[in-house]
């Protein structure tokens, strides 16, 4: 196997084929599961296999979740020729066997590396080994690479991610490239031809409204993340998505908070990467993660990220234009107290600031469908009156009559 890989590498360098990004891999935001938020470095092949099993048996696969991604710390050492190996204690059967298992469930398999010399968890990074690692991943059957940005002193982000994009392309297996440099180098300005999604912020933290200070860096609650980088939605679209990080649904927030978190990710056309223990989740968590009406808004083929129509300190109204002229509207109560709202459709023309989609309720009437109760909720003739529980949303899909 190693000999074949070495011959392949020499051939690739000799031919010097023109590299590009693999197209058509993320026409809608990727959906899946990643080990980091819940398990951090405590990853094993049994965990990954059981998670793949649960993805199918829970109904998450049927709801659209596809990728099972091992984050940091799967790595062992490089061998004498420099090939990366899995940690033999945690992954005794090797990564190829694990990828085969995940594929046998009808799912896709993802892995993690870093553009620097070490990963954030101190495992070997891909710096200087990009082509060798890309070929190794391709030979294992990897479908998705999350590529991190720790220990990258002296590197330029755009160039480093371009190198890995080219390496993946030369390796010949279509692999989604998930760029993870935390929005530090404005990836929305350069990453579209390089990756399929790019993190826009530092790490998420399992809270609705908080900053967790780690000394030299912070991780962020749901509200903090949705407040960051308001001006970047025009960079997202089919094949290239802003990524506000993997989800914390089911990791300890309240049901209301989890619902709001999931709704806001869908309104932003965010990748929906679950980050909880899907082998053991409550019925409420499963119901949130598999809400097909909310997922349909995230996965809408128009591929337009939502915008804020009303932006008040405690209350926001988010709008996401959808294919065929439908529109999703999400009312958010940021506070812990219940809130009464009134929204007069006729005086609220919805105007997309970047893509020009407009919805004028004074001109046309729309039917209202509540995507959390799965019930019709009248139309836009009368003003909407509702009570929003604390830290929760009212999320509607509107269709022209
Ligand atoms: C960084 C990333 C996280 C996770 C860890 C792993 O912090 O942003 O999502 O991958 O590294 O060490």
**pLDDT tens column, 246-278:** 999 999 999 999 999 999 999 999 999 999 999
Ligand 1 pocket residue status of 352, Cβ below 6 Å: no
Nearest residue (CA) to ligand 1, atom 3: 203
* Residue of 180, 198, 243 with the most ligand 1 atoms within 8 Å of its CB, for mutation: 180
Per DSSP, the three-state class of 57 is: helix
166 is known as an active-site residue: no
Question: What spacing in Å lies between the alpha carbon of 307 and ligand 1's midpoint?
Answer: 27
pLDDT greater than 90 at residue 16: no
Query: DSSP letters along 329-358, please?
Result: EEEEE-SSS-EEEEE-GGG--EE-TTT--E
203 is known as an active-site residue: yes
Atom of ligand 1 nearest to the CA of 202: 8
Question: What spacing in Å lies between the alpha carbon of 40 and ligand 1's midpoint?
Answer: 9
Q: What is the DSSP letter of 22?
A: P
Ligand 1 pocket residue status of 120, Cβ below 6 Å: yes
Question: What spacing in Å lies between the alpha carbon of 148 and ligand 1's midpoint?
Answer: 7
Nearest to 22 by CA among 184, 123, 134, 112: 134
In angstroms, the CA 317 to CA 333 distance is 9
Half-sphere exposure of 208 (CA within 13 A, CB side): 23
Per DSSP, the three-state class of 122 is: coil
Single out the catalytic residue among 71, 72, 114, 203.
Answer: 203
* C-beta separation of 29 from 244 below 8 A: no
Ligand 1 pocket residue status of 36, Cβ below 6 Å: yes
In angstroms, the CA 305 to CA 241 distance is 9
Sign for the pseudo-dihedral over CA of 219, 221, 226, 228: negative
2 burial level (CB within 10 Å; 0-12, 13-18, 19+): exposed
pLDDT tens column, 351-397: 999 999 999 999 999 999 999 999 999 999 999 999 999 999 999 99
Q: Which two tokens stand for residue 233?
A: 């939605």
Q: What share of residues in the chain are helix, strand, coil (percent, to 5)?
A: 30, 25, 45
Single out the catalytic residue among 133, 148, 352, 392.
Answer: 148
Cβ-based neighbours of 365, under 8 Å, separated by 6 or more = 379, 380, 381, 400, 401
Ligand 1 pocket residue status of 316, Cβ below 6 Å: no
Cβ-based neighbours of 141, under 8 Å, separated by 6 or more = 96, 99, 100, 103, 109, 173
In angstroms, the CA 189 to CA 349 distance is 30
Q: What is the pLDDT of residue 37?
A: 98
- CB atoms < 10 A from the CB of 322, how many? 20
Nearest residue (CA) to ligand 1, atom 5: 120
Nearest residue (CA) to ligand 1, atom 8: 203
Cβ-based neighbours of 84, under 8 Å, separated by 6 or more = 75, 76, 78, 124, 129, 132, 133, 136
Q: What is the pLDDT of residue 163?
A: 98
Question: What spacing in Å lies between the alpha carbon of 120 and ligand 1's midpoint?
Answer: 6
Ligand 1 pocket residue status of 325, Cβ below 6 Å: no
Better-scored residue on pLDDT, 136 or 401: 136
Q: What is the pLDDT of residue 9?
A: 60
Per DSSP, the three-state class of 119 is: coil
Atom of ligand 1 nearest to the CA of 120: 12
* Residue of 32, 34, 35, 36 with the most ligand 1 atoms within 8 Å of its CB, for mutation: 36
Ligand 1 pocket residue status of 326, Cβ below 6 Å: no
Q: For the whole model, what pTM was predicted?
A: 0.96
Per DSSP, the three-state class of 147 is: strand
* C-beta separation of 61 from 107 below 8 A: yes
Show the beta-strand stretches assigned E in 71-206. Answer: 75-78, 84-86, 108-114, 144-148, 176-179, 197-199
* Residue of 71, 212, 243 with the most ligand 1 atoms within 8 Å of its CB, for mutation: 71
Cβ-based neighbours of 93, under 8 Å, separated by 6 or more = 45
pLDDT tens column, 126-169: 999 999 999 999 999 999 999 999 999 999 999 999 999 999 99
């Amino acid at each position: 196997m190693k000999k074949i890989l070495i011959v392949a590498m020499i051939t690739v360098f000799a031919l010097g084929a023109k590299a590009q990004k693999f197209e058509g891999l993320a026409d809608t935001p990727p959906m899946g599961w990643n080990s980091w938020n819940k398990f951090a470095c405590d990853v094993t092949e049994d965990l990954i296999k059981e998670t793949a099993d649960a993805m199918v048996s829970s109904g998450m696969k049927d709801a659209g979740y596809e990728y099972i991604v091992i984050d940091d710390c799967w790595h062992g050492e490089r061998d004498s020729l420099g090939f990366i190996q899995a940690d033999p204690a945690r992954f005794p059967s090797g990564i190829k066997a694990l990828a085969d298992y995940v594929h046998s469930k009808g799912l896709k398999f993802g892995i993690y590396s870093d553009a620097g010399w070490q990963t954030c968890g101190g495992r070997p990074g891909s710096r200087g080994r990009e082509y060798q690692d890309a070929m190794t991943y391709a030979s294992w059957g990897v479908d998705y690479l999350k590529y991190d940005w720790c220990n990258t002193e002296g590197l330029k982000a755009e160039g480093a991610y371009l190198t890995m994009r080219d390496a993946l392309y030369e390796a010949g297996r279509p692999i989604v490239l998930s760029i993870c440099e935390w929005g530090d180098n404005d990836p929305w300005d350069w990453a579209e031809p390089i990756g399929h999604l790019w993190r826009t912020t530092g790490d998420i933290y399992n809270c609705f409204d908080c900053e967790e200070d780690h000394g030299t860096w912070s991780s962020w609650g749901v509200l903090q993340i949705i407040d960051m980088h308001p001006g970047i939605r025009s960079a997202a679209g089919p094949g290239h998505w802003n990524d506000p990080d993997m989800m914390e649904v089911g990791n300890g927030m309240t049901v209301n908070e989890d619902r709001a978190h999931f709704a806001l990710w869908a309104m932003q056309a965010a990748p929906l990467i679950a980050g909880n223990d899907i082998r053991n989740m409550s019925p409420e968590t499963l119901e949130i993660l598999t809400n097909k009406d909310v997922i349909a808004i995230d996965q809408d083929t128009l591929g337009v990220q939502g915008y804020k129509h009303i932006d008040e300190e405690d209350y926001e109204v988010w709008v996401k234009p959808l294919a065929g002229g439908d529109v999703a509207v999400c009312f958010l109560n940021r506070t812990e107290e219940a809130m009464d709202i009134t929204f007069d459709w006729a005086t609220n023309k919805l105007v997309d600031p970047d893509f020009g989609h407009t919805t004028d309720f004074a001109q046309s009437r729309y039917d209202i469908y509540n995507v959390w109760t799965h019930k019709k909720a009248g139309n836009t003739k009368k003003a909407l009156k509702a009570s929003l529980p604390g830290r929760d949303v009212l999320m509607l899909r509107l269709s022209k009559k």
